[in-house]
Structure 1
Amino acid sequence: MMMKMEFKWLWFLRIAVVSVLLVLEGASTDACLEHERIALLHLKPFFNHYNYLNNWDEVKGSDCCEWMGIECNTTTGRLIGLSLNYTRFRDKDYWYLNASLFLPFVELKSLYLRGNVIAGCIENEDDATKLQQMIHLEELCLDGNLLNNSVFASLNGFPNLKYLSIRDNQMKGSLDMKDLDAFSSLRELYMSNNQLKDFVIHKGCCDLKKLEVLDLSWNTFEGMLPNYLDNLNSLRELDVSNNQFSGNLSLLANLTSLRFISLSRNHFEIPTSFAPFINLANLKFLYANENKMVMEPSFHSSLPKFQLKFITLSKCITSQQLHFELLTFLYYQYDLRFVDLSGNDFSGALLTWLLQNNTKLKYLILRGNAFSGLLSLPSAPNLNVSVVDISDNKLQGQILSDICSTFPHLRGLFLSKNAIEGDIPTCLSAMKDLWYLDLSNNHLSRSVPEELILKDSQRILRLSNNNLSGNVIPAVFNTKGLSNIYLDGNNFSGDMTNVDVSAFDFSSSPAEIDLSNNMFSYLDTLALSNNHFEGSIPMKFCNLNYLGFLDLSQNNLSGSIPSCSNPPHIEHVHLHGNRLSGPLSLAFYNSSSLVTLDLRGNNLSGSIPEWIGTLSSLSVLLLKANHLHGRIPVQLCQLYSLSIIDLSQNMFSGPIPSCLGNLTLPMQQNKILVHDEYISISSEDESRIFGSSKLARGANDGYPTSYMEE
């Protein structure tokens, strides 16, 4: 019933729009045409659910060519482009589009309606005839809607459509190819990310001889490539990746216009001679990851007519003989820019000749093979190489200092999981373009060049699990350029007891530092308050066994407090002013050394656990402004050292344990201001907490010295 009402309403609106068109025919302004402006305003209620079209001004004379999503012909002022992507709420029910609403735009060339929960087009006897008036429409994008296989029958009224994209819809099962017969002008067709399984092909159908781009990726196609492909003589780009196609590729041999082929993640049998592609003189891009390379019964000695720029063949090779055949083919390629042969179990010496033969090569990815021998370099510099990834092989020897002059513009160097030894070349510190350096899981020894950590341009440094030594602490906490530093699993040493982390400038310093599993003296104090940290408290804090003072207050931390947040020597914990939630669970359970626990101003819930009585040294308990409820446990009476407690602004019920009236404040305690509130603490604890003068804020800092009595 609702759909019928919508149909009638849309049909009435269409009549009104067409009437306006007839009345105002020929009327124009110096900018957009008035009748097209009015027609756009009739569209606005359908496509303004995110207020995306708020600048579509209803004031007469407003230039619609300046509106969001509108493109006009600069000479005639007529609308030629309309982009209404994602302008309807995705959580609304699906709806049917009345294509006649776009008829006033007689010169419309491109229409984009991506992500608008469109389930189809309202159809009537007149529609097909009237859509023939849109002779200028060349581009139509309906990605991310709810269209099914009938979409082609609904759209066959556009006589000159050249670009059609219906990615990410609900087409499934078999696609009847006769529905495409009306699209003889089509140049590009994109149908990826649906659930299409096969094609129904009729004799004499599939007249798509002008088609240049066909994207069938991310569907569920099975079996051999369909025979209709043999008729697409103009095809330049073919993407059938991420399906379940199988069999040989002989069907492609006659498509001599092909420039781009993506076959990745299927079950194709690709001959090592590349016979199906030998005559494709225009082929530049070949993506064939995760298929199967096979030997042919007869060896093809002909050299390919093409020179590739991009080739990816990861996880394809299954035998040493196949290795030899593939490398022979690659030896005759001289224009490569991107090579990915990862995960193929190649063995033997490193393929340095690839770099020598292809002076324009930018990316060489050989990770996950079995290359062995010394880490060798090409004899001549390569000025274009940007990324070299030879990780997870069996290479030995040292990293030669010549690597910096051989690859002067290197941005990423990945040599992890080999057997490389010796020093880290100092010259790496001077490589301004180097963004990611991964030398982890090798046998590197001696010290790390300090300049490598301090360099401004680098962002990620991984040196984990080597035999490196020396004191890197000063450099780590003074770096400006690094985003992430991983130095774990080495023999670094040095004293971290007096490292003043509070002075660390996190606005321009690393987002991740991993110094675990080294030989550092213990970290005693970690103060990171008043920053902009987000996310949960890292579980790695559980490994800080010697931590005595932890201050993460006044950040944006969320999630629960890790249940292991009770290092054996922890004495003072400040987590107030965050967004921590959930119950206390077993956090701090049996932390007999804990003196201060400040959890104010969070979103903690549940009740105060009965194990609170195990915190035998607890002197200050601050739980103000949370969502705690239930009874105040009598176990608090077991805390004989308790002198300050704040449970206000919660939802506790029941009686207050009478023992809390017996709290006493020892007279010998000094007055210390912590986080803008006064607490009283002993001289011994003051020294313990504020051992670093930069952390201390005492009575001489200009704050009042008197303690506010109960």
Structure 2
Amino acid sequence: MFDCKVNGLVRGQGFPHFKSLDHLDMVFARTALNTSFLQIIRESMPSLKYLSMSDSTLGTNSSRILDQGLCSLMHLQELYIDNNDLRGSLPWCLANMTSLRILDVSSNQLTGSISSSPLVHLTSIEELMLSNNHFQIPISLEPLFNHSRLKIFDAANNEIKAEITESHSLTAPNFQLQALSLSSGYGDGVTFPKFLYHQHDLEDVRLSHVNMDGEFPNWLLENNTKLRQLYLVNDSLTGPFRLPIHSHRWLRFLDVSNNNFQGHIPVEIGDILPSLISFNISMNALDSSIPSSFGNMNFLQILDLSNNQLTGEIPEHLAVSCVNLEFLALSNNNLKGHMFSRNFNLTNLRSLQLEGNHLEGEIPQSLSKCSSLEGLYLNNNSLSGKIPRWLGNLTGLKHIIMPENHLEGPIPVGFCQLYSLQILDISDNNISGSLPSCFHPLSIEQVHLSKNMLHGQLKRGTFFHCSSLVTLDLSYNRLNGSIPNWVDGLSQLSHLILGHNNLEGEVPVQLCELNQLQLLDLSNNNLHGPIPPCFDNTTLHESSNNSYSLKPFETSLVMDSMMIPAEKQIHENFEFTTKNIAYIYQGKVLSLLSGLDLSCNKLIGHIPPQIGNLTRIQTLNLSHNNLTGLIPSTFSNLKHIESLDLSYNKLNGKIPHQLVELKTLAVFSVAYNNLSGEIPEWTAQFATFNESSYEGNTFLCGLPLPICRSPATMSEASIGNERDDNLIDIDSFFITFTTSYVVVIFGIVIVLYVNSYWRRKWFYFVEMWITSCYYFVVDNLIPTRFCH
């Protein structure tokens, strides 16, 4: 009854005819098997020896399921009830199943200590699978010492506890295990399990994510000559990485990554472990050079030495003799010299990770032999020369990651043949020329070409109908022309970064068709015209009718030949200015980032009130443009805004008092506009903004600027009359000026000479005129000259 869906109640008609049935498999039955059905199994199939109900929605009460349905099957030898969301502790009736050889309760929500569970009495058990539960398991396995038949014990992802008593630390258990798996995401600090000193038949040992003390247990290899797999990942092991004296020809897989090993990799490692298929010692503190004896590992397919402090060059013997190597990771070390010489036989490579070193020279021609290459990671080195044309012949390439080098020349036209390409990152180099019009791989998801010397226009063929493209970063180049109208064909585009180029024309309304858009940066270009009012169609608007959410690109290149994942997490990153600082955003934070930057252009017109509907937005920068009109009161709807910059425009009117409702606002600037009136109440976030947020607006007042003063609170004699006189004098001045220029000049001279009061008023008028001229210059010249 494998992978079937039973509708309705499962009844017992017909089951009495199965009295002699000894094998029942109901894996993936996908129906609620109630206790009455289990009672039918107990009554109708007393001879059962094998019962599997994995993934069968048994319910949550393990005691009830086992007690009422299964514990009385006295002949049962194999029981599989994994992946059923069972909860609680194991029932004691389980101890009565004395014929049980195999028990699998993995991937449930079971709890309790195995020291006080019925498992202690199941001495007939040979294979015990408890993984992915919440059991408390002593690392000594002392409660199971009497289980002489136990061969396989799997308790991964439980709570591993320290030794129970010192008296058993040297006691030999009655079992001889073949496979052991213990791992924990939490639990006490423990020592390396002492019972392993008495094991001699081990073939598979997995002790990962356990906070253990001590050094690498080379004695485990010496005592177990048939050991094939050893995983000691993230165990806090320290000291040197010492190998056994004698050769161990059975070991195939060794993973000791993410520990604290120091010193050097033994130079004779290739002679002592010649049969390794996979070796991972990444994320340690090893130094010295890479032993050339790795070249003696003729079966090696995965080699990961990344994230250490290794020095020297890549051994030529490794590149010549490891002909079966598919995955080579030497990234984030201190390697130097050229990548590979002409003597190169790693033709089966699928992933080459050399980023974060000091490698120099050109990308070697020898890599052109790697016809199966899928991932090429060379970023953050000192590589030079042109990007090879022959890369376009490696049609299986999915990732080309080569930023932060000294590469030059154009992007090869051969890249147009990379139909499987998903990520292209050659940013921060000296790449020149224009983008190939034929480059539009259908599977492309990320394109990072920022900080190069690319020029020309975005041609229609480039990226045309790349419906899988999520990130397009072409910032800090020399691109010109307009933003193409076909951009709306990039239906999955989430991050569009075109800042710091020479783009011109208007902001196309087709951008509003990108309903997945989260971040748009068009800053520091020559764009003109109005701001489209339709951006609230994108995911910048929280109530957009789409369910898409950006996920960090964490891809895996899987070694199918041995079914072992060789994971390579690609954390995309790009630069975006927020809070007046250019930050590098990377990894999962990108899924949370939302912003619109149109600063440092020549945009005109009013700010569309619809911008206030972009309720997800965190950064809004419209500074250094020629925008006019009022600040929309709808900005009070930007509940997640952290940075709002409207400075260096020609905005007028008052600052909407509703902006005090923006509780997350950290950076705010309306400097150098024509705003007037009282600023919003000096409270909440607005109490953190100083005068620089408002400077350049003569007629603004209120804290932190000078306090606003109304006529009702001023003295009639001094202030009221001054204002009235000033108003009458200015009107008279303009009337007289239109009538006779000579009369005005003569009248002014007489008044200034006779009356000191009017003389002071005249100089006040001259000062006001000079101030007005100053702000006229600032508004019309400063934005284009000092925009950053």
SS in 2 for 1:348: coil
Query: Is 1:549 matched with 2:507?
Result: yes
Query: Is 1:494 matched with 2:437?
Result: no
Match of 2:466 in 1: 506
1:587 deviates by 7.3
Distance 1:582 1:329, change over 3 A: same
- Of the three residues 525, 538, 542, the one matched with 2:495 is 538
Q: Is the 8 A contact 2:400 2:425 kept in 1?
A: yes
Q: Is the 8 A contact 1:213 1:238 kept in 2?
A: yes
- Of the three residues 316, 319, 322, the one matched with 2:262 is 319
SS in 2 for 1:319: strand
Deviations along 1:104-163, one digit per CA (max 9) or x if unpaired, are 562452112467651332289x859x7333634623234463534x31635334433514
TM-score normalised by length of structure 1? 0.62
1:442 deviates by 1.9
Q: Is the 8 A contact 2:392 2:415 kept in 1?
A: yes
SS in 1 for 2:368: helix
In structure 2, how many angstroms separate the alpha carbons of the residues matched to 1:530 and 1:543? 23
- The one-letter amino acid of 1:593's match is I
- Of the three residues 248, 259, 269, the one matched with 2:203 is 259
In structure 1, how many angstroms separate the alpha carbons of the residues matched to 2:51 and 2:324? 39
In structure 2, how many angstroms separate the alpha carbons of the residues matched to 1:109 and 1:380? 54
Structure 2, unmatched stretches of 5+, are 274-292, 545-593, 638-649, 653-788
Deviations along 1:149-198, one digit per CA (max 9) or x if unpaired, are x3163533443351413335252567437633315233241323526363
Match of 1:408 in 2: 371
Match of 2:225 in 1: 281
Distance 1:54 1:271, change over 3 A: closer
- The one-letter amino acid of 1:425's match is P
Q: Is the 8 A contact 1:571 1:595 kept in 2?
A: yes
Q: Is the 8 A contact 2:480 2:501 kept in 1?
A: no
In structure 2, how many angstroms separate the alpha carbons of the residues matched to 1:84 and 1:193? 20
Q: Is the 8 A contact 1:313 1:340 kept in 2?
A: no
Match of 2:119 in 1: 179
In structure 1, how many angstroms separate the alpha carbons of the residues matched to 2:341 and 2:190? 39
SS in 2 for 1:593: strand
Match of 2:237 in 1: 292
Q: Is the 8 A contact 1:368 1:392 kept in 2?
A: yes
- The one-letter amino acid of 1:518's match is N
Match of 2:674 in 1: none
Match of 1:56 in 2: 7
1:479 deviates by 3.7
Q: Is the 8 A contact 2:437 2:462 kept in 1?
A: no
In structure 1, how many angstroms separate the alpha carbons of the residues matched to 2:603 and 2:78? 75
Match of 2:676 in 1: none
In structure 2, how many angstroms separate the alpha carbons of the residues matched to 1:444 and 1:289? 37
In structure 2, how many angstroms separate the alpha carbons of the residues matched to 1:469 and 1:589? 26
1:89-488 → structure 2 map (5 Å cutoff): 100=39, 102-104=41-43, 106=45, 107=48, 109-113=51-55, 118-122=60-64, 131-133=71-73, 135-136=75-76, 138-143=78-83, 145=85, 147-148=87-88, 150-151=89-90, 153-158=92-97, 159-171=99-111, 175-176=115-116, 179-182=119-122, 184-194=124-134, 196=136, 198=138, 205-207=145-147, 209-217=149-157, 219-222=159-162, 231-240=174-183, 242=185, 246-248=190-192, 251-268=195-212, 271=215, 274-290=218-234, 291-295=236-240, 302-316=245-259, 318-321=261-264, 329=272, 331=293, 333-377=297-341, 379-405=343-369, 407-476=370-439, 478-480=440-442, 482-488=444-450
SS in 1 for 2:335: strand
In structure 2, how many angstroms separate the alpha carbons of the residues matched to 1:561 and 1:388? 33
1:446 deviates by 2.1
SS in 2 for 1:469: strand
In structure 2, how many angstroms separate the alpha carbons of the residues matched to 1:153 and 1:572? 72
1:564 deviates by 9.7
Distance 1:561 1:200, change over 3 A: same
Larger radius of gyration: 2
1:401 deviates by 0.6
Q: Is the 8 A contact 2:408 2:430 kept in 1?
A: yes
In structure 1, how many angstroms separate the alpha carbons of the residues matched to 2:240 and 2:462? 63
Query: Is 1:82 matched with 2:33?
Result: no
Aligned pairs, number: 548
**CA RMSD in angstroms, aligned pairs only:** 5.3
- The one-letter amino acid of 1:277's match is L
1:451 deviates by 0.9
Distance 1:310 1:322, change over 3 A: closer
Q: Is the 8 A contact 2:109 2:133 kept in 1?
A: yes
In structure 2, how many angstroms separate the alpha carbons of the residues matched to 1:58 and 1:99? 12
- The one-letter amino acid of 1:399's match is I
- The one-letter amino acid of 1:435's match is K
In structure 2, how many angstroms separate the alpha carbons of the residues matched to 1:530 and 1:63? 60
In structure 2, how many angstroms separate the alpha carbons of the residues matched to 1:559 and 1:143? 38
Identity, % of aligned pairs? 16
Q: Is the 8 A contact 1:176 1:200 kept in 2?
A: no
Match of 2:530 in 1: 571
TM-score normalised by length of structure 2? 0.57
Match of 2:604 in 1: 593
1:207 deviates by 0.5
- The one-letter amino acid of 1:215's match is A
In structure 1, how many angstroms separate the alpha carbons of the residues matched to 2:525 and 2:77? 67
Match of 1:657 in 2: none
Distance 1:464 1:506, change over 3 A: same
In structure 1, how many angstroms separate the alpha carbons of the residues matched to 2:372 and 2:490? 36
SS in 1 for 2:196: helix
1:101 deviates by 5.4
Distance 1:539 1:368, change over 3 A: same
1:463 deviates by 1.4
Q: Is the 8 A contact 1:289 1:312 kept in 2?
A: yes
Deviations along 1:190-245, one digit per CA (max 9) or x if unpaired, are 32352636369668854153332423335343469977895441423434365565
Structure with more of its chain in helix, by fraction: 2
Per mean C-alpha deviation after superposition, the further-off stretch among 180-189 and 337-346 is 180-189
In structure 1, how many angstroms separate the alpha carbons of the residues matched to 2:139 and 2:193? 18
Q: Is the 8 A contact 1:217 1:240 kept in 2?
A: yes
- The one-letter amino acid of 2:375's match is G
Match of 1:519 in 2: 478
SS in 2 for 1:276: helix
- Of the three residues 581, 584, 596, the one matched with 2:541 is 581
In structure 2, how many angstroms separate the alpha carbons of the residues matched to 1:456 and 1:412? 14
- The one-letter amino acid of 2:357's match is N
In structure 1, how many angstroms separate the alpha carbons of the residues matched to 2:328 and 2:445? 24
SS in 2 for 1:485: strand
Q: Is the 8 A contact 1:393 1:418 kept in 2?
A: yes
In structure 1, how many angstroms separate the alpha carbons of the residues matched to 2:10 and 2:210? 56
In structure 1, how many angstroms separate the alpha carbons of the residues matched to 2:454 and 2:598? 33
